[in-house]
Amino acid sequence: MNELLQALILGTVEGLTEFLPISSTGHLIITSYLLGLSGEKIAFFEVFIQLGAILAVVVLYFKRFWGLLFPQPYVRFAGIRGLYYLFLTSFPAALLGLLLHKYIKIYLWSPLTVAIALFIGGILMFIVESTKKRERHVVLDEMTPKLAFGIGLFQCFALFPGFSRSASTIMGGMILGAKRSLAAEYSFIAAVPLMFAATSFDFYNNWSLLELNDLPFFLTGFIVSFTTAIIAIKTFIILMGKMTLRPFAVYRIILALVIYFVLV
């Protein structure tokens, strides 16, 4: 298969799944497996194209990120307070990821572990949606330190490939009293510092793998990831105001079974 077509496929998978509660990492592992792609350079490419998805969030929520640097009156999620909340959310998974990064790549990067995480995450979605909760936090400016840190603890589950960072933060937010749409929106914004740190760490460790002729492959994946992430984020926010997580839970469970019985 043409190399640029492979980049287009992987970029599309990354952009469409990064912010949905179905695990972009899991989908990339499976897609690369089906395309017959492997090795350190492909693993780095899968991390690199996450930068396109990160940029999509920054573009869509530019006013929020701008407000973190130049806060406006009467906007609570802004300035030092907003940065503090993002730090509380990012710190647990960042610390744990730094300690376990090598072991995750060695022992958990496989179709089997992805299938297990997809299945367990799907079951947990049904449980969370079936539990009656009082929504104490409806909009982003109602964020509290306790809620931000609590979501950060739940985000640690995303270190297991296939569980999904989006799923862990959205379910965590809902368990802690956030409205589903707020949990989704904060999940997108909180993803930026952690994903940027993770991709920067990988880039620092693997930049020597790149050659000049890799540029078209990497740029294609980056651009496609950015474009499709824009579409996915806008669509998902609309859906979260109208539906539950159950359809995503069903998808995860079916996909987990297919992976287990076909690929494992």
How do residues 15-44 score in pLDDT, each as one tens digit? 999 999 999 888 998 899 899 988 888 888
pLDDT of 107 reads 76
Instruction: Give the pLDDT confidence of 157-176 residue by residue, as tens digits.
Output: 998 888 999 999 999 999 99
235-248 burial code (b ≥16 CB/10 A, e <16): ebeebbeeebbeeb
Q: Judge contact between 28 and 14, C-beta under 8 A.
A: yes
Determine the average pLDDT of the residues in 198-202.
80
Determine the average pLDDT of the residues in 199-207.
80
Determine the average pLDDT of the residues in 106-111.
81
Q: What is the pTM of this model?
A: 0.89
Determine the average pLDDT of the residues in 105-124.
89
Determine the average pLDDT of the residues in 188-198.
87
Indicate the length of the chain as a whole number.
Answer: 264
Q: Which two tokens stand for residue 231?
A: 């579409």
pLDDT of 132 reads 67
Cα 224 to Cα 16: distance, rounded to the nearest angstrom:
10
Q: Which two tokens stand for residue 220?
A: 């294609």
Burial degree of 164 (CB within 10 A; 0-12, 13-18, 19+): buried
List Cβ neighbours of 150 (8 Å cut-off, separation of 6 or more). Answer: 172, 176
Query: Domain-by-domain residue ranges, the chain?
Result: 3-263
Where does the pLDDT of residue 67 fall: very low under 50, low under 70, confident under 90, or very high at 90 and above? Answer: very high
Average pLDDT of the chain is 90
Please tell me which of 5-9, 39-43, 68-72 the model is most confident about, judged by mean pLDDT.
5-9
pLDDT of 176 reads 93
